[in-house]
Amino acid sequence: MSWESDVEELAHQRELARQMGGEEGIAFQHGRGKLTVRERIDLLEDPGTFQEIGVLSGTATWEGDHVTQLKPANTVIGTCRVEGRKVAFSGGDFTIRGGASDAAIADKRGFSEKLALETRIPYVRLLDATGGSVRTFEQIGRTYLPGDSGTYLSAEILQYVPVAAAVLGSVAGLPAVHACLAHFNVMVKGTSQVFVAGPKVVEQATGKEITKEELGDERTQVKNGVIMNLADTEADAIAQVRRFLSYMPSSVWDAPPRIESTDDPARRDESLLSIVPKDRRKIYDPKKVLAAVLDKDSFFEIMPFYGRSRVTGLARVNGIPVAVMANQPKFNGGSMDVAAGEKTIRLIELAETFHLPLVYFADEPGFSVGPLQEQQGIVRAGARIVTRLARTKTPYICFIMRQLYGVAGGLHRRNSGMYRRYAWPSTHGGSMHIEGGTAIAYKRDIENAPDPDAKRAEIEAMLHSISSPFRNAHAFGVEDIIDPRDTRPLLVDFLEDAWKVVQTQLGPGAGPSYTP
């Protein structure tokens, strides 16, 4: 006796499941410029590596021993390989009841998260789904008190495996929260929205009519930092997820994936000698510094539209993955405001959780000042940043390119763990800027002078004359002043040492837990 007929039935039901919401639902999805969940999986996986879990879960119509119809669950889960490494994922199927949670079969998403945690592999969410619905009350014959909806597990896995989320449609309720329960997230320009509740709920609650685009598209959610990156297409969004994962270890128990670099570790870029203007009032592009020092074309920027006075991202140096941050003088003079502080904390926590050495190209004029920053809580934000950095243990190196002032300027230094710093000849710093501090510290001298303006200029000139970094070096206030062209070779040397330290830090870290 053979089981051939049962195997044929299995193939038949699998085929029914792969039809998703049917031709009409698929056409509607394509008509809105969106891909189906299975087309998205094709973009995520290394070709031929997708292994689906729970493919037959759904609502079946039986005729005898034969299934004639199968409405599949609106969540597809499984594993695949990304650049050769296994990852787990879940994807919402919008062609079936808009991916609504009340159309789900059991907790497939929770199963996939648990799989990622237990297998110690990265986890990816392909989000195109809505949250709960009052229709559920009719289906179960009662209302209910909200539970954690699996969010405990969603928060737990952040401490152990890399999690990435791609927002690929309208995402509301719990799926919107899941978009943020990730180390990296991205949305698609023009077709993605994120909100706690959709336009109809907002209208009922506030009386205000609003479109889903006005409520939560990229103009809101990328600018405010809820979503980190913006993609032009779904293919671009998933490509960004793949690239993010390429810098990440499979879990906290593994080292980040080092690759062979084709970039000369001893490369000394001539542009570094003149990239910082001698005129302190002139700005420059720090991304040119990153291009000159990091492995060529390896910098992957994260959150480019939020907290724009600081550049953050991932890169490689001699093939070693690193977390990178730099002040951006083109925005707010590069000073640390509340948004830039939050952005910095997220990068520091990512580096600490996944054992990425931290590289800082510093040009910090200090915390942003003024009534707006005080209203937003800049003092509390500053305290959080200081605390987070002080508790890290991941190897940390700083290149002081221009200025360091105040408490924010002090973030270039750490007193524990492997740490190194170098200063360029363009370095200057102190508790506060000479121009602003002179009027305070020498107030009486200036007021009593026959020509107050001339006296203030005289004092400022005197203070500037003793602000040379060489005077700091004479007092061992800075360890080494370097030729800027030596930045890459010295960074490579540091990271070779750091790579050995990283191997001793594998596992859950002793530093702060990761918070989205």
Average pLDDT (408-412) is 80
Instruction: Give a yes or no: residue 23 inside a domain.
Output: yes
Q: What is the pLDDT of residue 158?
A: 95
The total of structural domains in the chain comes to: 3
pLDDT tens-digit series, residues 426-466: 888 775 565 665 666 677 777 777 887 777 766 666 666 66
| H helix or E strand, kind and range, residue 300 | strand 300-301
Average pLDDT (383-390) is 88
Q: Model-level pTM?
A: 0.91
Are 437 and 423 members of one domain? no
pLDDT tens-digit series, residues 43-87: 999 999 999 998 888 888 888 888 888 888 889 999 999 999 999
Q: What's the Cα-to-Cα distance from 101 to each of 134, 149, 172, 267, 365, rounded to whole Å?
A: 11, 10, 11, 54, 48
CATH number, position 347: 3.90.226.10
Instruction: Give a yes or no: residue 513 inside a domain.
Output: no
Higher-pLDDT residue of 155, 318: 318
Are 213 and 292 members of one domain? no
Instruction: Give a yes or no: residue 265 inside a domain.
Output: no
Tell me which residue has tokens 């303006």.
453
3-state secondary structure of 513: coil
pLDDT tens-digit series, residues 469-516: 777 777 666 788 999 999 999 999 999 999 999 999 999 975 556 677
**Which residues make Cβ contacts (< 8 Å) with residue 341, sequence separation at least 6?**
307, 378, 381, 382, 384, 385
Instruction: Give a yes or no: residue 512 inside a domain.
Output: no
Are 161 and 223 members of one domain? yes
Are 355 and 375 members of one domain? yes
3-state secondary structure of 243: helix
Are 24 and 101 members of one domain? yes
Residue that terminates a domain, selected from 190, 216, 247: 247
Q: What is the pLDDT of residue 135?
A: 55
Are 237 and 323 members of one domain? no
Instruction: Give a yes or no: residue 264 inside a domain.
Output: no
Q: What is the pLDDT of residue 69?
A: 86
3-state secondary structure of 3: coil
pLDDT tens-digit series, residues 325-382: 999 999 998 998 999 999 999 999 999 999 999 999 999 988 888 888 889 888 888 8
Tell me which residue has tokens 């597990």.
153
Q: What is the pLDDT of residue 71?
A: 85
Are 182 and 44 members of one domain? yes
Instruction: Give a yes or no: residue 59 inside a domain.
Output: yes
Q: What percent of the chain has pLDDT over 70?
A: 87
Whether 325 and 302 have beta carbons less than 8 Å apart is answered as no
Q: What is the pLDDT of residue 147?
A: 59
Are 423 and 441 members of one domain? no
Are 231 and 332 members of one domain? no
DSSP string, 116-183: HHHHT--EEEEE------THHHHHHTS------TTHHHHHHGGGTS-EEEEE-SEEESHHHHHHHSSS
Are 301 and 231 members of one domain? no
Q: By residue range, what is the domain housing residue 439?
A: 433-467
Instruction: Give a yes or no: residue 263 inside a domain.
Output: no
- Report how far residue 430's alpha carbon sits from residue 467's, in angstroms, rounded to the nearest whole number: 9
Are 108 and 212 members of one domain? yes
Q: What percent of the chain has pLDDT over 90?
A: 54
